Amino acid sequence: MIHEPTYQAAAKVAPVIERHLKKHLVAAKENGEDDLAVVPTARQVEKIIDVAFWASLRKEEGIPIRISIAFLPPSQAGKPLLFERPIRLTPQLLTKLAPGVERAGIHIGVWPEGDDLYVWGTTIRLPNLSFVLDVSEPGLLVVKHRRLAGLGKFTNVAVLRGDQVKVVNEDSGSLPDSPLILQSLLGVTKSCLWNNSVNVLIQIAVSMRAHKRGGILLVTPSYSDAWKESIIHPLQYPINPAFSGIADLLRFDGKSVTEIYWQNALRREVENITGLTAVDGATIINDKQELLAFGAKIARAKDAPAIEQVLLTEPVEDGIPLLLHPSAIGGTRHLSAAQFVHDQRDSIALVASQDGYFTVFTWSDLQQLVQAHRIDVLLL
């Protein structure tokens, strides 16, 4: 019996995802890109989402499942792990496979046979712009695609949480005063270098959100010490000299070690820094990714007015910017981070909440106020 989709959100979002992938595929072909993925039909997208949703509500040996599903034939998977015979895609199958494929970078390969979809095995290699669906937690699904050249974090297309659907608005990154981290996550700006400083900041943001303890990361200009005016002294944990673990790796020239070695080294250094953001207070780095202090207490700069409002935005379809008092966005972390950026306008603040929300605070010269960009929908 062929499984008919019953998860209504899947039917709602599937045509949007198909159009998104087709648009990017056409643009990539016009630019002469190769190794491009095949775009699933809306019906196939709906089926994959539906099966994954019902599987996400199950547990295997008492543990919620975490899986990644990719739509591609084995011929585009490099050196795949192949089953002797493809197995029909069902919630039961995904639940049973989950313990063996939950590690990051492993994808369950799905491809059609006739009118139904089948799992043919697993892969760690995907073609450019591949459709990928991640089951992050029970009832939470993230649709994304692999970036061209495979560099950096996958680009999120939509997030489904129960009956709530958020579709990413790619155009929000092209608005005036959009921070570079938002532009990069949305694919507005691209870098073919792993050691691009914005790509590294994205990895830090993902890692901050993953530790689920909440935290603040302040990024200050390397040419100025003005940030000290907005910090209570003496500093709890000042670093002297500035710790340059990530900064040294950003100067990687590609000759001394392999790129894989460098990427692994960077991952360790990122985790080293983001672990400190779990300590009460703010972690401070400069724009060269040099660590200056952690556990710092933020205070209003001398003679600076108290911040009264911020402009809250989220890069999703139908998202409406809201003028709010920063305390309405979150707790004391958000208020202190907003005040810091209000006083130190060349700095940015990244705030992770324990409940998974993630906000980037930046100063807008155009609006003459602090903008709060909620980007957790892009970090999942």
Predicted confidence at residue 261, as pLDDT, reads: 76
Predicted confidence at residue 174, as pLDDT, reads: 76
State residue 337 phi and psi, 5-degree precision. Answer: -65, -40
Q: What is the distance between the alpha carbons of residues 35 and 27, in angstroms, rounded to a whole number? A: 14
pTM: 0.88
Per residue in 85-111, pLDDT (tens digit) is 999 999 999 999 999 999 988 999 999
Number of residues written out for the chain: 380
pLDDT-derived band at 380, boundaries 50, 70, 90: confident
Q: Where in the chain is the domain with CATH 3.40.1700.10?
A: 180-378
Q: Provide the CATH topology of domain 180-378.
A: YojJ-like (1 (3.40.1700)
Matching CATH number, 8-167, of 3.30.70, 3.40.1700, 3.30.410, 3.40.50: 3.40.1700
| Mean pLDDT, residues 54-61 taken together | 92
Q: What is the distance between the alpha carbons of residues 112 and 74, in angstroms, rounded to a whole number? A: 11
304 class by beta-carbon count within 10 Å (0-12 exposed, 13-18 middle, 19+ buried) = middle
Per residue in 342-372, pLDDT (tens digit) is 999 999 999 999 988 999 999 999 999 999 9
| Mean pLDDT value across the chain | 91
pLDDT-derived band at 193, boundaries 50, 70, 90: low
Structure tokens at 8: 């209504």
Structure tokens at 19: 């159009």
In degrees, to the nearest 5, what angle opens at C-alpha 142 toward C-alphas 261 and 136?
A: 70
Predicted confidence at residue 333, as pLDDT, reads: 94
pLDDT-derived band at 254, boundaries 50, 70, 90: low
